[in-house]
Amino acid sequence: MVNQVQRGDGSWQSCKSDSSGASNSGGESSKESSRCSTPVLDADRSDRLRDKMRKRTESGDCWFSLEFFPPRTASGAVNLISRFDRMGSGGPLFIDITWHPAGDPGSDKETSSMMIASTAVNYCGLESILHLTCCNQTKEKITGYLAKAKHLGLKNIMALRGDPVGADWEEEEGGFNHAVDLVQHIRSEFEDYFDICVAGYPTGHPEAESYEEDLRHLKEKVDAGADFVITQLFFRADTFLKFLDDCRAIGITCPILPGIFPIQGYQSLRQLVNLSKLEVPEEITEVIEPIKDNDAAIRNYGIQQAVEMCRVLLDSGKVPGLHFYTLNREVATMEVLRQLGLWIEDPRRPLPWAVSAHPKRKVEDVRPIFWASRPKSYIYRTQDWDEFPNGRWGNSSSPAFGELNDYYLFYLKSKSSKDALQQMWGEELKNEESVYEVFTCYITAQENQSGHKVKCLPWNDEPLAPETNLLKDELEKVNRRGVLTINSQPNINGKPSTDPVAGWGPAGGYVFQKAYLEFFTSSENVTALLKVLKKYEPRVNYHIVNVHGRNLTNAPDMQPNAVTWGIFPGREIVQPTVVDPVSFMFWKDEAFALWIEQWANLYEDESPSRMIIKYIHDNYFLVNLVDNDFPLESCLWQVIDDMFELLDAPPETHHDGEVSE
Amino acid sequence: MVNQVQRGDGSWQSCKSDSSGASNSGGESSKESSRCSTPVLDADRSDRLRDKMRKRTESGDCWFSLEFFPPRTASGAVNLISRFDRMGSGGPLFIDITWHPAGDPGSDKETSSMMIASTAVNYCGLESILHLTCCNQTKEKITGYLAKAKHLGLKNIMALRGDPVGADWEEEEGGFNHAVDLVQHIRSEFEDYFDICVAGYPTGHPEAESYEEDLRHLKEKVDAGADFVITQLFFRADTFLKFLDDCRAIGITCPILPGIFPIQGYQSLRQLVNLSKLEVPEEITEVIEPIKDNDAAIRNYGIQQAVEMCRVLLDSGKVPGLHFYTLNREVATMEVLRQLGLWIEDPRRPLPWAVSAHPKRKVEDVRPIFWASRPKSYIYRTQDWDEFPNGRWGNSSSPAFGELNDYYLFYLKSKSSKDALQQMWGEELKNEESVYEVFTCYITAQENQSGHKVKCLPWNDEPLAPETNLLKDELEKVNRRGVLTINSQPNINGKPSTDPVAGWGPAGGYVFQKAYLEFFTSSENVTALLKVLKKYEPRVNYHIVNVHGRNLTNAPDMQPNAVTWGIFPGREIVQPTVVDPVSFMFWKDEAFALWIEQWANLYEDESPSRMIIKYIHDNYFLVNLVDNDFPLESCLWQVIDDMFELLDAPPETHHDGEVSE
pLDDT, tens digit, for every residue of B610-640?
999 999 999 999 999 999 999 999 999 999 9
Q: Average the pLDDT over B423-446 and give the result.
A: 94
The pLDDT value given to residue B643: 97
Q: What are phi and psi of B511, to 5 degrees?
A: -115, 150
**Collapsing DSSP states into helix, strand and coil, what is residue A460?**
strand
Quote the CA–CA distance of A421 and A427 in Å, as a whole number: 9
Per-residue pLDDT, B651: 79
Give the model confidence (pLDDT) of B284-302 as tens digits: 999 999 998 998 999 999 9
Mutation target among A404, A557, A577 for the B interface, most CBs of B within 10 A? A557
Query: Which among A158, A133, A149 is positioned nearest to A325, based on CA atoms?
Result: A158
A645–chain B nearest CA distance, Å: 21
Contacts 24+ apart (CB under 8 A), A462-466: A462/A373, A465/A373, A466/A500, A466/A501
Print burial letters for B184-202: b (CB count within 10 Å at least 16), e (below 16). bbbbeebeebbbbbbbbbb
Instruction: Please tell me whether the peptide bond between B352 and the residue prior to it is cis, using omega within 30 degrees of 0.
Output: no
The SS3 of residue B309 is helix
The CA distance from A44 to the nearest CA of chain B, in Å, is: 11
Tell me the nearest-neighbour CA distance from B9 into chain A, angstroms.
8
Rounded to an integer, what distance in angstroms lies between the CA atom of residue B487 and that of residue B464? 10
* Amino acid residing at B644: F
Question: Angle, to 10 degrees, between the axis of helix A331-340 and the axis of helix A295-315?
Answer: 40
Whether B171 is catalytic is no
Nearest residue of B to residue A511, measured between CA atoms: B631
Do B199 and B226 meet the contact criterion of CB atoms below 8 Å apart?
no
Contact present, B307 and B339 (Cβ < 8 Å): yes
B106-162: per-residue pLDDT in tens?
A: 999 999 999 999 999 999 999 999 999 999 899 999 999 999 999 999 999 999 999
A467-525 residue pLDDT tens: 788 889 999 999 999 999 999 999 999 999 999 899 999 999 999 999 999 999 999 99
Residues above pLDDT 70, as percent of chain B = 90
Q: Which of B508, B557, B578 sits opposite A19 (nearest CB)?
A: B557
Query: Which of B3, B554, B585 is opposite residue A1, by nearest beta carbon?
Result: B585
The pLDDT value recorded for residue A412 is: 81
Q: Is there a contact between A221 and A160 (Cβ–Cβ < 8 Å)?
A: no
pLDDT, tens digit, 9 for 90 and up, residues A604-660: 999 999 999 999 999 999 999 999 999 999 999 999 999 999 999 987 754 554 444
pLDDT (tens digit per residue) in B366-407: 999 999 999 999 999 999 998 888 888 975 446 689 888 888
**Mean pLDDT for chain B overall:** 88
Residues A61, A319 contacting (CB under 8 angstroms): no
Give every CB contact of residue A558 below 8 A, 6+ residues apart in sequence.
Answer: A581, A582, B5, B13, B15, B16, B17, B18
Indicate whether A34 pLDDT > 70.
Answer: no
pLDDT digits (tens, 9 = 90+) for A166-205: 655 566 666 788 999 999 999 999 999 999 999 999 999 9
Q: Is B503 helix (H, G, I), strand (E, B) or coil?
A: coil
Cα–Cα distance for residue pair B321/B446, rounded to 1 Å? 44
Mean pLDDT (whole number) for B213-219: 96
Give CA–CA dist B537/B531, Å, rounded.
Answer: 11
- Calpha distance A268→B573 (Å, rounded): 56
Indicate the pairing of strand A551-553 with strand A321-325.
unpaired
Q: What is the ipTM of this complex?
A: 0.84
DSSP per-residue string spanning B103-136: G-TTSSSTTSHHHHHHHHHHTT---EEEEEE-TT
Closest alpha carbon to B231 in B210, B273, B188, B200: B200
* B164: pLDDT strictly greater than 80: no
Q: What is the DSSP string of A370-429?
A: GGTT-HHHHHHHTTT-SS---S-STTS--PPPPP---TT-TTTS-SS-HHHHHHHH-SS-
Distance of CA A429 to the CA centre of its chain: 35
Closest-approach residue (CA) in chain A for B19: A557
Task: Give mean pLDDT, residues A261-266.
Answer: 91
DSSP state of B597: I
Closest by Cβ to A585, choosing from B1, B27, B554 = B1
Give the C-alpha distances (Å, rounded to integers) separating B574 from A513, A562, A630, B366. Answer: 15, 10, 16, 8
pLDDT of residue A174: 67
Distance, CA of A159 to CA of A52 (rounded, Å) = 20
Q: Count Cβ neighbours within 10 Å for each residue of B58-91 and write b for 16 or more, e otherwise.
A: eeebbbbbbbbbbbeeeebbbebbebbbebbbbb
Give residue B526's identity as a one-letter amino acid code: V
User: Is B534 in contact with A8 (Cβ distance < 8 A)?
Assistant: yes
Q: What's the CA gap between B330 and B86, in Å, rounded? A: 9
Q: How many residue pairs from chains A and B have C-beta atoms closer than 8 A?
A: 233
| A564 pLDDT tier (thresholds 50, 70, 90) | very high
Per-residue pLDDT reduced to its tens digit, B7-62 = 444 333 333 222 333 333 322 222 222 222 222 235 566 789 999 999 999 999 99
What confidence score (pLDDT) does residue A656 get? 52
Determine the Cα–Cα distance for residues B256 and B198; give it in Å rounded to an integer: 10
Q: How many CA atoms lie within 13 A of B392 on its CB side?
A: 23
Contact A17 B559 (CB under 8 A): yes
Q: What percent of chain B has pLDDT over 90?
A: 74
pLDDT of residue B607: 95
pLDDT at B169: 57
> Percent of chain A at pLDDT above 90?
74
pLDDT greater at residue B43 or residue B350: B350
Return the pLDDT at A400: 84
A16 vs B contacts (CB less than 8 Å): 558, 582
CA distances from A357 to A73, A91, A125 (A): 25, 14, 4
Q: Is the pLDDT of residue A32 over 60?
A: no
CA distances for A518 relative to A369, A460, A489, A593, A638, angstroms: 10, 13, 9, 16, 15
CB contact at 8 A, B522 and B550: no
Nearest to A25 among B6, B508, B556 (CB): B556
Residue B280 CB coordination number (10 Å):
14
Sequence-distant (≥ 6) Cβ neighbours of residue B476 within 8 angstroms = B440, B443, B444
